[in-house]
């Protein structure tokens, strides 16, 4: 019995011990989590809301006020000072590192002792009228020095004199109309065109191709006046003495004209100045409409067709001097600007990623301004500044994003996207392997109506998801999301019931990242109502009237619109940097590819017979799009079953998402544009601002009915269709299981 009892006790003991051990073992086993990323969706979304809440209108106002007091043109001391201040403040906000990154690039300035102007000269060569040398300075800024007068950056020096020919907006089609329908040649003449519709560099290129010996550009009220709005300072319209500065390069993404393809470091080889990429060969100058009227009167008999008549045409058409009277008078341009290699400074700030420091999410926007930059770019720079401050606050609360975030204050954007392009060239290897996305932050506001987003298709759903979590900044829309507010104002007609999102064009710093390197990119700003407000960009664009006050008085008195833009830009960065699985959507890319393929095929169908003659078919492209669509669908289905506990599996899937955009890059580039390498998107060859889809095919088809060698021209169309089809197939491959 005793023995038995002992045995029982012993058994009991054993059972208890074993049970306890097992209990401990199990708890120990499960208590130890597999290495799962620290920030999963839940903590992220908590921090996201904190981050969005952190952005303050009053501080955005303060940032804008602070950085718009003085002119800060690229390459000037003041722009370096602002760079240093921004660096200092980003450090204080709590970024892990901030540095100034200099490059020595070709800039262009007017000659301080010999101002640029345009004259009307009589038959004795006497100047009977001269355009103004500067814009009337707005109230409160009378004592400010270093306001650069309106000029066309990179215009060569020169004094061409001749008849003036008006060519509307100076678009390709305008020159075609002039030459083919009106039978007017501009060879040896000076061309005058109105600003608007297309990038000014394209106007100059067209004029050069047509043989002009000079280009004058003016702001026509038809394009730079909103109805019922007074000129600044009483309203936000462009005064008659205001004119648009701007570069007139045709860089096609080359960056610094003297160091195409490579960063402009001290040791870098530089082309001879005359070999520089994209430099105009004829003098160019911009004027306001008060001056323009005088020149237009001197047009020597050219009667503009009705569809060319802007607001100014009315005046000169009815004015006393139009047609024959001034025929014997000519126009003379007097341009003394200089190109010079100058040091610029990007500010680069970083938050090191907690788990994937080698994955980069970039928020970049420029700092340099033509004068004060009240809208362009400081409304955007103020937003970035507030985003950095907000991110710094989160860091102090213990948050750290999964991936590295890079903030950039670019220099010399106004001179051809130079600061951002040089940095992209400098860091091309790192960006190519490691960049997840680039969000651009130029002007945050160009109107008072609603949100505007241009981005790569894979970002569509993220933009929608995010804007549903942001409040509308509009008066009387409390409780309404930004998404709803935007949707109501700008629905994507026909295609889908959602707010419209457009393709990226160019004309801002995302270009090298998106079009050259193939990094998913997007931009967001507040905009006008395109249906009712037909003027280009915004009236005071690139004039001295872009002040702090124009934003505070007219565009965003409560600074809530800018705050909403900060939340969109910042929220995108946040989610791209911190989501465990990258919030990129390949199905959206498939849908867009289908749309673009339909559209380019439809364009080609205007030549049905020729297509048959030359045996041109879009079948291979449609078949590739089909293949891509299936691959994307399969990818997202597999994503549903992803084991998010397995860090390598997550990384592999994320790499597929990250490299999807890269897959559309063709290292050989587009014909004649080696730095535009994205097969799906490029700036239009006829307007840098606009995005063209399947640009290779589009350009091959352009004006093909007038081709001198149709056989060769149609062969090029076939070649481009083949390249597009291959590229879409290749991108599809990246979405299939990796082995």
Which of the residues are catalytic? 413, 617, 655, 678
Rounded CA separation 148/309 (Å): 31
Comparing CA positions, the residue from 211, 210, 258 lying closest to residue 108 is 258
Taking CB under 8 A as the binding criterion, the range among 106-114, 290-298, 467-475, 618-626 that sits at the site for its own copies is 618-626
Is there binding between residue 480 and its own copies (CB under 8 A)?
Answer: no
Three-state DSSP at 502 gives strand
Q: How far is the CB of 738 from its own copies (least distance, A)?
A: 4
Closest distance to its own copies from the beta carbon of 268 (Å)? 5
> Is residue 634 within the footprint of its own copies (CB under 8 A)?
no
Task: Say whether residue 9 binds its own copies (CB under 8 A).
Answer: no
Contact 536, 223 (CB under 8 A): yes
Smallest separation (angstroms) from its own copies to the CB of 27? 6
Touching its own copies, residues 492-521 (CB under 8 A): none
Size of the site for its own copies (CB under 8 A): 71
Q: Which range touches its own copies (CB under 8 A), out of 109-117, 250-258, 538-546, 661-669?
A: 661-669
Q: Is 193 a residue that touches its own copies (CB under 8 A)?
A: no
- Report strand pairing: 284-287 vs 246-247: unpaired
User: Residue 685 in contact with residue 505, Cβ under 8 Å?
Assistant: no
Quick one: which of 212, 140, 146, 145 has its CA closest to 175? 212
**Does 254 help bind its own copies (rule: CB under 8 A)?**
no
Stretch that binds its own copies, among 220-228, 385-393, 578-586, 663-671 (CB under 8 A): 663-671
Beta sheet of 117-121, edge-to-edge order: 127-130, 117-121, 330-334, 161-162
For 348, the enclosing helix (H) or strand (E) is: strand 338-351
Site for its own copies in 28-67 (CB under 8 A): 28-29, 31-32, 34-35
Residues forming beta bridges with residue 79, ordered by sequence position: none
341 binds its own copies, rule: CB under 8 A = no
What part of residues 355-374 is at the interface with its own copies (CB under 8 A)?
Answer: 355-358, 360
Dihedral of the alpha carbons of 139, 140, 145, 149, in degrees to the nearest 10: -30
Helix (H, G, I), strand (E, B) or coil at 126: coil
Judge whether 74 and 411 are in contact, CB under 8 Å.
yes
CB of 58 to its own copies, least distance (A): 32
Site for its own copies contains 188 (CB under 8 A): no
Q: At closest approach, how far in Å is the CB of 255 from its own copies? A: 13
Q: Residue 121 phi/psi, 5° resolution?
A: -115, 140
Q: Which of 129, 141, 262, 622 binds its own copies (CB under 8 A)?
A: 262
CB of 43 to its own copies, least distance (A): 18
Closest by CA to 297, choosing from 423, 129, 153, 179, is: 129
401 vs 539, which CB is nearer to its own copies? Answer: 401
Q: Of the candidates 7, 8, 11, 20, which one interacts with its own copies according to CB under 8 A?
A: 20
404 belongs to the binding site for its own copies (CB under 8 A): yes
Residues in 674-703 that interact with its own copies by CB under 8 A: 674, 677
Q: Which is nearer to its own copies, 620 or 707 (CB)?
A: 620
Dist. CA 727–CA 655, nearest whole Å? 19
Q: How far is the CB of 12 from its own copies (least distance, A)?
A: 12
Q: Measure the CA–CA gap between 219 and 242, rounded to whole angstroms.
A: 8
Residues 143-162 that bind its own copies (CB under 8 A): none
Beta strands per DSSP E along 33-79? none
**Of 23 and 314, which has the nearer Cβ to its own copies?**
23
| Binding residue (CB under 8 A) for its own copies from 213, 245, 332, 350 | 350
| Binding of residue 15 to its own copies (CB under 8 A) | no
Is 11 one of the binding residues for its own copies (CB under 8 A)? no
Give, as ranges, the residues between 265 and 304 that touch its own copies (CB under 8 A).
Answer: 265, 267-269
Least distance between its own copies and beta carbon 110 (Å): 30
Residue closer to its own copies (CB basis): 96 or 173? 96
- Read off the DSSP letter of residue 644: T
Of the residues 646, 671, 702, 710, which one makes contact with its own copies according to CB under 8 A? 646
Q: Determine if 439 is a binding residue for its own copies (CB under 8 A).
A: no
Among 229, 428, 581, 644, binds its own copies (CB under 8 A): 428
Burial-class residue 209 by CB neighbours within 10 Å (0-12, 13-18, 19+).
exposed
Indicate the burial class of 3 (C-beta count within 10 angstroms; 0-12, 13-18, 19 or more): exposed
Chain CA centroid to CA 182, Å: 36
Cβ atoms within 10 Å, residue 261: 14
- Those residues whose C-beta lies under 8 Å from the C-beta of residue 338, and which sit 6 or more positions away, are 108, 109, 111, 157
Using the rule CB under 8 A, give the single segment among 84-92, 221-229, 377-385, 616-624 that binds its own copies: 616-624
Q: Give whichever of 23 and 49 is closer to its own copies, judged by the CB atom.
A: 23
Residues 86-145 that bind its own copies (CB under 8 A): 96
How many Å apart are CA 484 and CA 97, to the nearest integer? 38
**Helix residue ranges, H only, 161-318:** 172-176, 200-209, 221-224, 289-296, 311-318
């Amino acid at each position: 019995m005793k023995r038995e009892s002992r045995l029982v006790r012993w058994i009991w003991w054993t059972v208890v011990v074993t049970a306890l051990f097992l209990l401990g073992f199990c708890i120990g086993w499960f208590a130890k989590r597999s290495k799962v990323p620290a920030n999963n969706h839940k903590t992220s979304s908590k921090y996201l809301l904190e981050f969005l809440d952190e952005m303050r209108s009053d501080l955005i106002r303060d940032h804008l006020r602070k950085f718009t007091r003085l002119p800060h043109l690229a390459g000037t001391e003041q722009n370096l000072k602002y760079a240093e201040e921004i660096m200092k403040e980003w450090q204080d906000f709590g970024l892990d590192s901030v540095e100034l990154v200099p490059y020595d690039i070709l800039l262009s300035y007017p000659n301080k002792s010999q101002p640029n102007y345009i004259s009307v000269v009589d038959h004795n060569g006497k100047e009977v009228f001269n355009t103004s040398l500067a814009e009337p300075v707005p109230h409160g800024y009378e004592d400010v020095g270093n306001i650069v007068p309106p000029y066309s950056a990179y215009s060569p020096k020169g004094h061409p004199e001749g008849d003036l020919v008006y060519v509307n907006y100076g678009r390709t089609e305008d020159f075609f109309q002039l030459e083919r329908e009106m039978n007017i040649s501009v060879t040896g003449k000076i061309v005058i065109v109105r600003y608007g519709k297309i990038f000014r560099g394209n106007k100059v290129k067209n004029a050069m191709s047509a043989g002009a010996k000079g280009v004058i550009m003016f702001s026509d009220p038809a394009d730079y006046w909103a109805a019922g709005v007074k000129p600044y300072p009483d309203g936000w319209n462009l005064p008659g003495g205001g004119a648009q500065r701007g570069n007139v390069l045709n860089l096609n993404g080359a960056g610094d004209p003297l160091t195409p393809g490579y960063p402009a470091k001290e040791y870098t080889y530089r082309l001879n100045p005359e070999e520089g990429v994209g430099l105009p060969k004829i003098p160019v100058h911009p004027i306001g409409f008060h001056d323009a009227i005088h020149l237009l009167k001197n047009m020597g008999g050219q009667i503009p067709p009705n569809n060319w008549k802007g607001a100014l045409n009315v005046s000169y058409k009815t004015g006393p001097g139009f047609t024959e009277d001034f025929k014997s008078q000519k126009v003379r341009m007097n341009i003394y600007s200089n190109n010079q290699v100058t040091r610029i400074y990007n500010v680069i700030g970083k938050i090191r990623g907690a788990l994937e420091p080698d994955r980069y999410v970039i928020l970049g926007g420029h700092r340099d301004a033509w004068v004060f930059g009240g809208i362009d770019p400081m409304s955007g720079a103020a937003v970035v500044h507030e985003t950095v401050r907000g991110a710094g606050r989160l860091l102090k609360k213990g948050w750290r994003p999964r991936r590295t975030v890079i903030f950039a204050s670019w220099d010399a954007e106004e001179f051809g996207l130079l600061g951002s392009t040089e940095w992209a060239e400098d860091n091309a290897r790192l960006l190519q392997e490691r960049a997840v996305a680039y969000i651009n932050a130029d002007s945050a506001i160009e109107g008072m109506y609603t949100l505007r987003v241009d981005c790569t298709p894979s970002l569509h759903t993220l933009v929608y998801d995010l804007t549903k979590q942001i409040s509308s900044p509009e008066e009387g829309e409390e409780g309404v999301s930004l998404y709803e507010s935007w949707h109501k104002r700008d629905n994507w007609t026909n295609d889908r019931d959602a707010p419209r999102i457009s393709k990226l064009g160019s004309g801002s710093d995302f270009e090298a990242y998106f079009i050259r390197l193939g990094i998913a990119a997007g931009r967001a700003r507040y905009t006008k109502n395109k249906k009712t407000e037909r003027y280009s960009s915004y009236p005071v664009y690139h004039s001295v009237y872009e002040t702090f006050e124009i934003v505070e008085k007219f565009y965003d008195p409560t600074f809530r619109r800018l705050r909403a833009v900060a939340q969109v830009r910042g929220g995108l960065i946040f989610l791209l940097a911190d989501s465990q699985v990258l919030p990129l959507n390949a199905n959206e890319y498939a849908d867009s590819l289908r749309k673009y393929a339909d559209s380019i095929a439809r364009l080609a169908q205007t030549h049905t017979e020729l297509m048959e003659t030359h045996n041109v078919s879009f079948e291979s492209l449609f078949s590739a799009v089909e293949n891509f669509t299936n691959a994307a669908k399969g990818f997202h289905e597999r994503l549903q079953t992803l084991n998010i506990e397995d860090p390598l599996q997550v990384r592999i899937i994320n790499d597929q998402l990250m490299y999807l955009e890269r897959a559309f890059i063709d290292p050989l580039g587009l014909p004649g544009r080696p730095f535009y390498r994205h097969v799906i998107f490029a700036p239009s060859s006829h307007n840098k601002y606009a995005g063209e889809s399947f640009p290779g095919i589009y350009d091959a088809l352009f004006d093909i009915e007038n081709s001198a060698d149709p056989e060769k021209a149609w062969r090029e169309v076939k070649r481009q269709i083949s390249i597009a089809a291959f590229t879409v197939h290749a991108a599809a491959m990246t979405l299939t299981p990796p082995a």
